[in-house]
Structure 1
Amino acid sequence: MSAPSNHPRVIFFQVRDNGTKLKKIVETAHLHFEKKEPFLILVEDSKAQDFVDELLWKLPQTSFFPHIATDEETKEWVAISKSKKNVNSAKAVFNLCSTPLLIDSPFKMIYEFEDLTAPNKKNLSSLRFDAYKQAGFSFEAR
């Protein structure tokens, strides 16, 4: 399925446990950081923002990479935000919110979880997938 060029590509990571989720968040952020590409992580609330902030300081254990938890504009390569704004002009975003990211934006890539850790999370993943599909986004599962 091909999407119009104005829609980002959505990549769904299939995860069956919380450890894999944490690993995917860190790996994806690190990948974009190493390429010197601004990367945004969107979260639901302050608790999730603090959790992801701590996670990125702790992992990978061999090193860390600079990032910021903020809802304000920033020049940092990696930002964690609870606002639905592109605070660091990122082209790639990891959406950790329960709702799909269907806002007009400059994003080229949206990362999501196909979360199989619990039935309610699987249902939310399916709803997001269906919303992206209905909106005409292209997608892939990994």
Structure 2
Amino acid sequence: MQLRIKGGILNHMMKRLTSVFSSSFLPFLVFLILSYSVQAQVIPTDPAAIAAGEALFKGNCKTCHKIKEKYTGPALAGVENRVPSIGWILNWVKNPAKVIASGDEYANKIYLENNKSQMTAFTS
């Protein structure tokens, strides 16, 4: 089964799924963000895609982020409610220095709240 998502529907779906699946949904969100490339996104719901998201989270995010509590970086539960858009997350993950340097208010808030510790860029 696949879901086709555009614009505001994504935000609504993320809120609903996060409340239902909480920490089990986060690896899927990471997979979506790191594979995001077009405005309309087809989200696979098969176990292989979810497992790939979990592997991405464990290999790239878990070192600095916990689901429900602050660690080296901010907690990731509910992140889709705190950021301007999924596209913003993509830009942040790929090049946080550029987003901070652009003067982005939320990026600079995160940067300052985390002792000016900059997130590692994940360009691929």
TM-score (normalizing by structure 2): 0.27
Structure (1/2) with the larger strand percentage: 1
